[in-house]
Structure formats: structure tokens, C-alpha cells
Amino acid sequence: MVRRCGLGAGGSIISADARAGPTAAFMLRHPAHLIALGAGAGLVPGAPGTAGTLLAFPLYWALASVCTAPILLGLIVLGFALGVWACGRTGRALGVADHGAIVWDEIIAFMLVLFFTPAGLLWQAFAFLLFRLFDILKPPPIRYYDRTLKNGFGVMFDDLLAAAYTLLVLAVFKPMFG
């Protein structure tokens, strides 16, 4: 496999081609990469998005156990803003705006889902399945924004829409099974 090194968009150094994907060394080269790759969750072969979404569970539970609801929601909003920067920088370094290894978008969007999901592991598991379904299938307008917004905001925004769809379905099911 040929590895290319050179300057990417914005003068960032591309250390691996898009097919090879990032490595642990790439991830540790810059704090933005560590964040965008979910501290290594994005390096999981075959299902990095699922690994990132799963990582949201312990992060959310840990924060929810020590934060009030407004502080937790504020941290999620700050995580979104941090993700715009980290995912944008990492996408430029990889030469692919929304590389599959970038999972901070899944982490933050699913933490938002968990914030509004009814209590209980069954509801959280259902939310997980719905979120992954919407994130993978990208129903309109998610697919549109995924294709057209090629920057850090775009990476984060399409997962925010998948979170909104998930919460909408949960809101429909909650009165029936609540």
C-alpha cells in the first residue's frame, strides 16, 4: 500500500492516504485528532461509528452522575463546538472531510439523545439502535447535509439531525410504552 505524505487543505500534513486511514500515531499527533477519533474509538476496524456511539454511554453516565442537567446540557453544547474544530482539522489532515474514523460527531450527538431519552436501559438501547439506523441510512435531509457541508460543522450537523430523528421516534413511542 502506498502511503502519501504532503500538504492537505489548510497546510495540514496528510500522514496516511484515505484508504489506509489514520493510525494511533496520527491520533496522538494533535489534540484535535485525539478528540475527533474518540480517543481511539474511531480506530476500531469495521464499525468505528458504532464504537463511537457506544463510547457515549460511559461518558454520558459519568457526567450525568456528577453534573446537574443544565451543566450536562451545556457540556454537550460545548462538545459540539469543540467537535466543529476538531473534526474540521482532522478531516483536513486526513484529506477526507468526514472520514469514517472521525467519531466525535456520533459521541456528542448520542450524548444529546441520552440526555432526552426516558430513563432505563431498554429505552437507551432502543435509542442506540434508532440513532445508528438514522446515522447509517441518512434519510432526508441528513444525506443532503452530509453531501454538501464538507467542514467540521457539516460533520457534526448530520449526526445532530440523526439525533433529532431518534428523539422524534422516541417521543412517538414513549406514550405507548412509557
- pLDDT tens-digit map of 74-83: 999 999 999 9
Per residue in 132-172, pLDDT (tens digit) is 999 999 999 999 998 999 899 999 999 999 999 999 999 99
Q: Answer whether residue 36 is part of any domain.
A: yes
pLDDT bin (cut points 50, 70, 90) of residue 177 is confident
Q: Answer whether residue 137 is part of any domain.
A: yes
Task: Please state the pTM of the whole predicted model.
Answer: 0.88
> For residues 46 and 68, what is the distance between their CA atoms, to the nearest angstrom?
36
Per residue in 12-33, pLDDT (tens digit) is 444 444 456 899 999 999 999 9
Per residue in 36-80, pLDDT (tens digit) is 999 999 999 999 999 999 999 999 999 999 999 999 999 999 999
Q: Residue 128 sits in which domain range?
A: 6-177
CB of 127 closer than 8 Å to CB of 113: yes
pLDDT of residue 21: 84
Q: Answer whether residue 1 is part of any domain.
A: no
Using CA atoms, how far residue 77 sits from 32, 48, 104, 122, 152, in Å, is: 17, 23, 13, 26, 15
Point out the least confidently predicted range of 22-26, 91-95, 106-110, 174-178.
174-178
Q: Answer whether residue 26 is part of any domain.
A: yes
Q: Answer whether residue 70 is part of any domain.
A: yes
Q: What is the mean pLDDT of residues 100-111?
A: 98
Q: Answer whether residue 140 is part of any domain.
A: yes
How many domains does the chain fold into? 1
pLDDT of residue 178: 67
| Cis preceding linkage at 141, omega within 30 | yes
Q: Answer whether residue 142 is part of any domain.
A: yes
Residue 105 reports pLDDT greater than 80: yes
pLDDT of residue 5: 41
Q: Answer whether residue 147 is part of any domain.
A: yes
